[in-house]
Amino acid sequence: MFEPSRRRHLCGFTLVELVVTLAIFGIAGAAIFGSMSFALGKQSDSLWRAKTEILARSYLDQIMIRKFDELTPEGGVPRCGPCSSPADFDDGESRANFDDVDDFNGLREIPPLDEDGQPIEVFAGFQVEVSVAYLDAAQQLAFGLADSQHAKVVSVIVTPPGGSSQVFSAVRANY
């Protein structure tokens, strides 16, 4: 067999060295897996955010091409004055007959619908709410307008499935 002096020169790992090495690899693997799962989780957040922005933009586009007010003549000239009061924003029109910005006030759709009233398949599970209001005093001052009825703030609130609501706003002027 081997002599004691020769055994000292044999190469190999002890059980303690092997256990320590496995523990180090386990900790490193857990850290890498944790960071990858975090990154993958955030990747889906970007998708929801992008879809939310597309949907909000679609609704804002539909709203902003409409007349400023029920009392605004076709073509927008001359501008209305006085305009409808906020109490008159809901004039009982159906979605298919919305012809001015404030008709969208209070609109709530689950699932979101296109201009023809058909559900938009790719946005199933989303919720859309719209509010329309005249400028408040601070906004009127910021825009330098003499009358708060010279502009309306249109806010589209989009809630993705299982996500938090995001608000998108635009100002529609009476011109």
pTM of the model: 0.72
Residue 63 forms part of a structural domain: yes
- The pLDDT of residue 164 is 86
> Greatest CA separation found in the chain?
111
Find out whether 117 and 49 touch, Cβ atoms under 8 Å: no
Give me the number of domains the chain comprises. Answer: 1
Contact between residue 62 and residue 115 where contact means Cβ atoms under 8 Å apart: yes
**Sign of dihedral through CA atoms 52, 54, 57, 59?**
negative
pLDDT at 171: 93
The answer as to whether 123 is a domain residue is yes
Residue 74 lies in a domain: yes
Rounded CA-CA distance 67/84 in Å is 12
Range of the domain at 82: 52-173
Local mean pLDDT, 10-residue blocks, the chain (175 residues): 57 84 90 79 75 94 90 77 79 82 92 89 94 89 84 94 90 86
**Contact yes or no for 102/69 (Cβ under 8 A):** yes
Q: What is the pLDDT of residue 2?
A: 55
